[in-house]
A and B are shown apart, each in its own frame.
Chain A
Amino acid sequence: MSESSGTKSMSIIVTKGSLDWAYPPFILSTTAAAMGLNVTLFFTFYGLSLLLKDLDLKMTPLGNPAMKMPMMGGHVGMPNFASMIPGVDAGATVMMQNMMKKKGVASIPELRELALESEVRMIACQMTMDLFEYTLDDMIPGIELGGAATYIEVATQSEINLFI
Chain B
Amino acid sequence: MADQTLDAKGLNCPLPILKAKKALTALAPGATLEVLATDPGAVKDFAAFSRTTGHELIEQSVEGNVYRFVLKRKA
Task: Tell me the A residues contacting B by CB distance below 8 Å.
Answer: 27, 30-31, 34-36, 103-106, 114
Contact = CB atoms under 8 A, between A and B. Distances in A.
A104 B3 CA distance: 26
Query: What DSSP secondary structure best describes chain A's contact surface?
Result: loop
Contacts of A103: 12
B65 interface: no
A114 B18 contact: yes
Contacts of B10: 104
21 contacts: A27-B13, A30-B14, A31-B14, A31-B17, A34-B21, A34-B49, A35-B17, A35-B21, A35-B49, A35-B52, A36-B53, A103-B12, A104-B10, A104-B12, A104-B15, A104-B39, A106-B11, A106-B12, A106-B14, A106-B15, A114-B18
Give the 3 A-B CB pairs with smallest separation, nearest first.
A34-B21, A104-B12, A31-B14
A36 B49 CA distance: 10
A6 to B, nearest CB: 10
B12 A34 contact: no
Given A27-B13, A34-B21, A36-B52, 17 more contacts: A30-B14, A30-B18, A34-B17, A34-B20, A34-B22, A34-B49, A35-B17, A35-B49, A35-B52, A35-B53, A104-B11, A104-B12, A104-B39, A105-B12, A106-B11, A106-B12, A114-B18
Q: Sort chain B's interface into a size bin.
A: 10 to 19
A114 B49 CA distance: 17
Q: Which of B10, B12, B14, B52 has the most CB of A within 10 A?
A: B14
B59 to A, nearest CB: 20
A35 B51 CA distance: 9
Contacts of A35: 17, 21, 49, 52-53
Q: Which of B12, B15, B17, B22 has the most CB of A within 10 A?
A: B15
